[in-house]
A = this chain, B = another copy of it.
Amino acid sequence: MATEKNSNGYEGLLPLCLRWLKPIFAKLSTVSVKLATMAKKLAKDDSRRVVHALKVGLAISLVSLLYYFKPLYDGFGTSTMWAIVTVIVVFEFSVGGTLGRGLNRVMATLLAGGLGFGTHYLASLGGDTGRPIILALFVFILASVSTFTRFFPKIKARYDYGLLILILTFCMVSLSGYRDEEIAKLALSRILTILIGCCVTLIVCIFVRPVWAGTDLHCLVANNIQSLALFFQGFGAEFFGLSQEGEVSNDDMQKYRTILNSKSNEESLTNLARWEPRHGKFRYRHPWKQYLKIGSLNRECAYRLELLNGYLKTNQFQMPSQQIHGQFKEECMKICSESSRGLRELALALRKMVLPLTAKSHIEKAKIAAENLKSHLEEWRFEEVNNAMEIVQVVSLASLLFDTICCIEKIVDSVQELASMAGFKAVEVQSSVAPEQQMDLQDQDQYALQPLSHGAAVLLAHHAITIDEQSPC
């Protein structure tokens, strides 16, 4: 038999095939395991992705009911297809995206339909020879002008899809009109099916676990401020060799790096958020553009952190000798811990959408520490210093820290501006001793860097912020 090994040493056909197929199957199984792991990670990172996929399936299934019920299908005929197409191309991850695309599609279809009819009528005046020429001319002009219009940055951000649909529908109406006299009836059923598609999409998108681009933008900016805080907390701990409880992991510290390239993400979320209606604590005209300003300041700060991070990576930094060390360490630690605390409270206040009452005072303290450091540096008698490189490093680190604090101050100011624009509430201090006083006492005694775990941060902020405030993040 072919499956047995022949006496002359040749293998049978089946084992040969199996031998060939085995590595292929092995590879396939490796790939599918890899894919499954990635899918699991994607789903775990943001479970809304799975929900979104199911929502799209649901919306399409709902619209496809039009096909299954004979009376509905007979009414719309082949136009039923447009309901399905609309759901598929309009359904976006966020409500803002879906609303934007839906409005673009409906408005562009109506506008292009009107223009198409006009062109159709105009062309019919041209007789049998003039007709194709007039049509071709109008199609060429509209397509070229609309395509060029898509290059305007502001139009591209909000109406890009609408312009595409404008060209598409205009061509379909004006050209199909050339042969089809039932165009009016067709156009009506097409617009109806598009409207049905849009409505089903919006209902599913808004009422089944909605994803608001505005909330995402708000939380993104708050999280970015939190990442800056984590860096300072970790920098203080790692650089000065203090590892207390609530230490920041290296991954947490490096989170600030995502801020460096967050611009395009923030811009697109802002554009989407502007389509969204009032939701949660966000009013209809929430100052979305202010988030771009805060985001840009966050990036300015992150550029500086990138350099500070360089000090950690090189390991070339020589700690200054003892007589400088004490003052230097103390002030630097104070700068790091106060900056971290201020930013953390700012992030928390932004998350909870309340006025950031205490953040500014922390940054003021960090500034005072920076000024002290500056005057210490000025008072040093440099002849006492053993190694000049020591000074170079100490001074450039200090200078970078000054610069970063100025940046952080601007972030605090712009968040306060946002808070007043959006009418965030000031929440009363509940504790009998103001947290400021507590900290001042501690400061006089001995100031130590206190890395705060997330729980501790909430506890600290609890003095200033009532618990019942519901955070959108």
B164 touches A88 (CB 8 A): yes
CB–CB B143/A56 < 8 A? yes
* Copy count, this protein chain: 2
Nearest B residue to A141, CB-CB:
B57
Take A171-B88, A264-B264 as given contacts and tell me if A53 and B144 are in contact as well, using a CB distance cutoff of 8 Å: yes
CB-based contact A380/B388 at 8 Å: yes
Selecting from A114-122, A207-215, A398-406, the interface stretch reads: A398-406
Tell whether, in the assembled complex, residue B84 and residue A172 are in contact, meaning their CB atoms are under 8 Å apart: yes
How distant is the Cα of A140 from the Cα of B53 in the complex, in angstroms? 10
A125 within 8 A of partner (CB): no
| Given A399-B396, A403-B310, A139 contacting B385 (CB threshold 8 A) | no
| CB-based contact B400/A132 at 8 Å | no
A303 contacts partner chain B, Cβ-Cβ < 8 Å = yes
Q: Does A421 contact B (CB under 8 A)?
A: no
A359 within 8 A of B: no
Report Cα–Cα, A263/B265, bound state, in Å. 11
CB of B263 within 8 A of CB of A49, answer no
A57 and B143 contact, Cβ closer than 8 Å, known pairs A164-B89, A264-B264, A306-B303: yes
Which single member of B84, B260, B399 contacts A393 (CB below 8 Å)? B399
Write the chain B residue with the least CB distance to A57. B144
Which of A23-31, A60-68, A234-242 lies at the binding interface?
Answer: A60-68
Interface size on A, residues (CB 8 A): 78
Task: For A88, give its contact among B88, B168, B395 (CB under 8 Å).
Answer: B168
Determine if A430 is an interface residue (Cβ-Cβ < 8 Å). no
- A457 lies within 8 A of chain B by Cβ: no
A424 within 8 A of B: no
A179 at the interface (CB under 8 A from B): yes
In the complex, chain B residues whose CB is within 8 Å of the CB of A89 = 164, 168
Contact A136 B85 (CB under 8 A): no
Contacts of A67 in B (CB 8 A): 175-176, 178-179
- With both beta carbons as reference points, the residue of chain B lying nearest to A261 in the complex is identified as B263
Q: How distant is the Cα of A54 from the Cα of B148 in the complex, in angstroms?
A: 8
**Which of A58-87 touch B at CB < 8 Å?**
58, 60-61, 64, 67-68, 73, 78, 81, 84-85
Name which of A98-106, A371-379, A458-466 contacts chain B: A371-379
Contact B136 A61, beta carbon cutoff 8 Å? yes
Given known pairs A53-B144, A140-B61, the reply for A391 and B391 (CB within 8 Å) is: yes
B residues in contact with A54, CB < 8 Å: 144
Complex interface: chain B residues within 8 A of A176 (CB): 67, 78, 81
Q: A136–B164 Cα gap in the complex (Å)? A: 30
A68 with B132: CB separation less than 8 A: yes
Asked if A53 meets B303 with Cβ closer than 8 Å, knowing A88-B164, A392-B395, A400-B396, the reply is no
Residue of B nearest to A180 (CB): B78
The answer to whether A84 and B147 have CB atoms under 8 Å apart is: no
Is A284 interfacial (CB 8 A cutoff)? Answer: no
A374 and B398 contact, CB distance less than 8 A? no
Q: Is A434 an interface residue (CB 8 A)?
A: no
CB contacts under 8 Å to B, within A130-148, are 132, 135-136, 139-141, 143-145, 147-148
A-B contact pairs, 8 of them (CB 8 A): A57-B144, A68-B132, A85-B168, A307-B403, A378-B388, A378-B392, A382-B388, A382-B391
| A residues at B contact (CB < 8 Å) | 38-39, 42-43, 49-50, 52-54, 56-58, 60-61, 64, 67-68, 73, 78, 81, 84-85, 88-89, 132, 135-136, 139-141, 143-145, 147-148, 151-152, 164, 167-168, 171-172, 175-176, 178-179, 260-261, 263-264, 299-300, 303-304, 306-307, 310, 374, 377-383, 385, 387-389, 391-393, 395-396, 398-400, 403
Query: Other than the known A78-B176, A378-B387, A382-B383, what 8 A-B pairs have Cβ atoms closer than 8 Å?
Result: A57-B141, A60-B171, A61-B143, A64-B136, A67-B179, A307-B307, A377-B388, A392-B398
